[in-house]
């Protein structure tokens, strides 16, 4: 199989005396399975044309375990009575010629088809099954468009895409979802997007694209379901960008960044105000210069919260980040100005303090303690 995939077959290959070459000569060249003129497998003009058609028709009826397949074609009761090893070899070639339609699953989970896989199948045929999905050129084109989507394409395994396009796209989709901030997934309000995210628990790309998506989007038109799928992905990406922007705005406000140089503004503020708890950000100048704005936000959120914002699960984490960042910066400013909180207040100050205490007693109990603290810090920061 690996030789076929690398297009390494030639007259010299078939004429060699090695075991692999001898088997290839008997089963491929002499039987007509391998077409010399077209330099590819061509069962339709070979001695195994009928077998090829019977196997494909057999697979089209339903998912088949390899035990059933061997009983049907490689047993004493079958019409052909192939030895299991010879039949497995022929079957692997049929699968190779139908990679975009046939997939193998191990205990229900789709697996990549490799030459070594068939050794495991021969030893444990009861654990593997073979499945056939016949989809049109239009459906294949729709999948290729997903593969080229700018959000999905960076995660595509190009080698896997050659042999199993739907599995490569499904794996890339899962990788993309896992790259998003958890808070985006947790707070997403789109019903279809939520079902889409739930779909990553599936172990089968064909089930996901050909069964799950049409049910989610309530359409029998495959191209339409794919368009809705990519639309939901793009909406998730927009939400992710909006969340990133929200965090950057909080940081910009706290660090009093008025110009467009986000990174330099943070650096200057930390140095100018000697923010001891954040000095590790700027200590290594080479590392700091290497940071992108996004890297800097990730590291800053980690320093403040103990884990970066990609792992936040709710808006409470965002509010807590804003509160703690404000506390760190406020604590530093308070220390520098050396405010004596025990000093006697003026008459006006005492009156304001009493009024605030009354208001807090009357209305503050309706707020969670964390939000009350946040409110007071915001008032202090605005003074």
C-alpha to C-alpha distance for 124 and 112, rounded to whole angstroms: 17
Q: Given 177, 208, 240, which residue is the final one in a domain?
A: 240
Asked if residue 145 and residue 235 are part of one domain, the reply reads yes
Residue 73: which domain range?
A: 2-132
> Any idea what DSSP says for residue 99?
T
Assigned domain for 249 exists? no
Q: What is the DSSP string of 26-52?
A: IIIITTTSEETTTTEE-GGGSTTHHHH
CA 361 to chain centre: 49
The domain total for the chain is 4
| Pairwise pLDDT comparison (260 vs 266), residue with the higher score | 266
Q: Compute the average pLDDT of residues 270-282.
A: 78
> How confident is the model over 97-154, as pLDDT tens digits?
787 788 888 888 888 777 788 889 888 999 999 988 877 778 888 888 999 999 999 9
pLDDT band at 29 (very low <50, low <70, confident <90, very high): low
3-state secondary structure of 106: strand
pLDDT of 84:
82
Asked if residue 127 and residue 6 are part of one domain, the reply reads yes
> How confident is the model over 194-206, as pLDDT tens digits?
888 888 887 778 8
3-state secondary structure of 374: helix
Asked if residue 116 and residue 230 are part of one domain, the reply reads no
Assigned domain for 312 exists? yes
Q: Given 132, 156, 181, which residue is the final one in a domain?
A: 132
Assigned domain for 247 exists? no
State the pTM of this model.
0.65
Asked if residue 121 and residue 10 are part of one domain, the reply reads yes
Maximum distance among all Cα pairs of the chain, rounded to whole angstroms? 108
Assigned domain for 250 exists? no
Contacts of 9 (CB under 8 A, 6+ apart): 3, 24, 28, 34, 39
Give the phi and the psi of residue 103 in degrees, each rounded to 5.
Answer: -140, 150
- For residue 10, give both structure tokens: 């030639």
> How confident is the model over 198-239, as pLDDT tens digits?
888 877 788 888 888 999 999 989 899 999 999 999 999 999
Assigned domain for 245 exists? no
Task: Residue 207: name the closest of 137, 139, 131, 145 by CA.
Answer: 131
Q: Which long-range contacts (CB under 8 A, 24 or more apart) does 19-26 make?
A: 23/89
- Of all residues in the chain, the percent with pLDDT exceeding 90 is 19
Asked if residue 259 and residue 377 are part of one domain, the reply reads no
Buried residues in 18-52 as b, exposed as e (16+ CB within 10 A) = eeebeebbebbbeebbbbeeeeebbbeebebeebb
Asked if residue 350 and residue 304 are part of one domain, the reply reads no
> Any idea what DSSP says for residue 17?
-
Q: Given 132, 159, 180, which residue is the final one in a domain?
A: 132
């Amino acid at each position: 199989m690996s030789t076929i995939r690398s297009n390494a077959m030639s007259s010299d290959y078939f004429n060699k005396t090695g075991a692999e070459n001898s088997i290839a000569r008997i089963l491929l060249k002499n039987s007509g399975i391998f077409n010399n003129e077209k330099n590819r497998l061509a069962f339709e003009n070979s001695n195994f044309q009928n077998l090829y058609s019977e196997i494909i028709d057999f697979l089209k009826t339903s998912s088949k375990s390899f035990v059933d397949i061997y009983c049907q074609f490689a047993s004493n009761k079958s019409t052909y009575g192939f030895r299991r090893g010879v039949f497995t070899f022929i079957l692997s070639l049929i699968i190779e010629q139908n990679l975009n339609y046939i997939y193998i699953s191990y205990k229900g989970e789709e697996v990549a088809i490799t030459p070594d896989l068939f050794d495991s199948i021969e030893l444990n045929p009861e654990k593997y099954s073979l499945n056939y999905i016949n989809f049109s050129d239009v459906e294949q084109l729709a999948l290729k468009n997903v593969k080229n989507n700018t959000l999905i394409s960076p995660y595509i395994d190009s080698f896997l895409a050659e042999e199993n396009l739907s599995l490569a796209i499904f794996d890339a989709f899962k990788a993309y979802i896992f790259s998003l901030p958890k808070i985006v997934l947790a707070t997403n309000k789109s019903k279809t997007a939520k079902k889409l995210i739930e779909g990553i628990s599936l172990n089968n790309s064909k089930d996901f694209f050909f069964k799950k998506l049409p049910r989610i989007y309530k359409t029998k038109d495959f191209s339409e379901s794919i368009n809705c799928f990519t639309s939901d992905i793009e909406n998730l990406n927009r939400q992710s960008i909006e969340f990133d922007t929200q965090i950057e705005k909080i940081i910009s406000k706290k660090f009093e960044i008025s110009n467009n140089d986000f990174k330099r503004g943070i650096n200057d503020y930390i140095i100018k105000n000697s923010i001891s708890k954040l000095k590790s950000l700027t200590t290594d100048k080479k590392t700091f210069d290497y940071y992108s704005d996004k890297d800097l936000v990730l590291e800053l959120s980690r320093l403040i919260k103990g884990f970066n914002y990609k792992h936040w699960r709710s808006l409470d984490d965002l509010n807590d980040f804003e509160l703690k960042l404000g506390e760190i910066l406020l604590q530093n400013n308070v220390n520098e100005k050396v405010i004596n909180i025990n000093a006697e207040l003026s008459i006006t100050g005492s009156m304001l303090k009493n009024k605030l205490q009354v208001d807090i007693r009357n209305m503050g109990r309706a707020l969670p303690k964390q939000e009350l603290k946040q409110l007071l810090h915001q008032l202090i920061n605005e003074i």
